[in-house]
Structure 1
């Protein structure tokens, strides 16, 4: 193993992953506070300081091991933000807004990464490639994380959005799926591709579902940031 190369790869992925994962939770915390629930505020979670949102296993250990193992995907999570939905000003509506705040934070971070490419020419030449790789990885990670969390599967943010806007006869059964949500995701992300490979196919349902929208979002962000 080329330890120098491993450390370099960690250096260009660690900060983008840390910010993408933790500030996603900061978005939830800020939205909940502004909409009437100060639970996260009282726990010091309404902050852009990523250290306040770090989960040692989900934010550091798991992504680090995946990077060192050169895994084809990067997964991680931060400490979930506590939200008392009954303390929100309008619980059902505001639940949707709090859920959307996390992915919207990721799309904002992606835009800031793209915008920052304009500043590369002002950096010392020796730093430009390393900073550019961090920005590229931050852009991609935030768009992927933002879009992934919008999938309408509880306990993802998109699942909570769907529960908030669907009529009760659809929202209640969907909400009950939350206990199985991660099992469903593991099945779609890991088990289905393995099954397809057993039959000689490289079909990846999640990649097929997400690749087009992710490319479109990145293209829109590039245009908004002044890159035609």
Structure 2
């Protein structure tokens, strides 16, 4: 039980900020390109409470961490926040600007991953004390969850960010047809997750990203 509490404590802040700041970034980008829907809904905020989804932000990540801790095996941790409302029709150039609004979330995860990597470097360079190890573990968790969320959201499947980026880049005809997949996107994603296909795809990509991040930061 004590080990489980420690695990939840270490992962709580990294998961919370990775998910909520990802959504806030979409809102900031949408406002920049002309859509104030998220702003008027109070969703352009760094306050995590405004973005928390009880199931996606707390229950699902918590259950994954608890299960992994009890069985002693690692699992791909992921979750989601309440989607930030975006009216793409209100963007200055809807099709082109959709790319930047969609990319803002994964970009936020990239920035956070770099920030956690820098904190990890500071932690491992600290004298051996009561703060160094917990800080290093939390920073490692931050790198991991942001890597997973960034790469997961870049999967070209609507309504994931990668799907919206693909719609923005495709010619109008194919873009319209591809966008029709969106109602089936979550069931497809759930199928890929439960069958292990998603883990097989993302696992090597996450490992490669972690390696590149460690190389750049000099870990």
Residue in 2 aligned with 1:8? 6
- SS of match in other structure, 1:146: helix
Residue in 1 aligned with 2:202? 210
Aligned-pair distance for 1:51? 1.9
Residue in 2 aligned with 1:170? 174
Is 1:93 equivalent to 2:85 in the alignment? Answer: no
Residue in 2 aligned with 1:221? 213
User: Could you tell me which of 52, 55, 58 is aligned with 1:57?
Assistant: 55
Partners of 2:59 and 2:211 in 1: CA distance: 32
Count of residues paired in the alignment:
213
Structure 1 runs not aligned, ≥5 long: 194-204
Residue in 2 aligned with 1:33? 31
TM-score when normalising by structure 1: 0.87
The one-character-per-residue Cα deviations of 1:95-115 (angstroms, maximum 9, x if unpaired) are 111000000100110000001
Partners of 1:210 and 1:51 in 2: CA distance: 29
Partners of 1:226 and 1:72 in 2: CA distance: 27
Equivalent runs, 1:46-195 vs 2, <5 Å: 46-70=44-68, 72-120=75-123, 121-122=125-126, 125-190=129-194, 192-193=195-196
Residue in 2 aligned with 1:200? none
TM-score when normalising by structure 2: 0.90
User: Could you tell me which of 36, 39, 42 is aligned with 2:40?
Assistant: 42
Assess, with a 3 A threshold, how the Cα gap between structure 1 residues 62 and 206 changes in structure 2: closer, same or farther.
Answer: closer
- SS of match in other structure, 1:69: helix
The one-character-per-residue Cα deviations of 1:97-143 (angstroms, maximum 9, x if unpaired) are 10000001001100000011232245771111111111001101101
Structure 2 runs not aligned, ≥5 long: 69-73
Partners of 1:225 and 1:48 in 2: CA distance: 26
Moved more, 70-79 or 48-57: 70-79
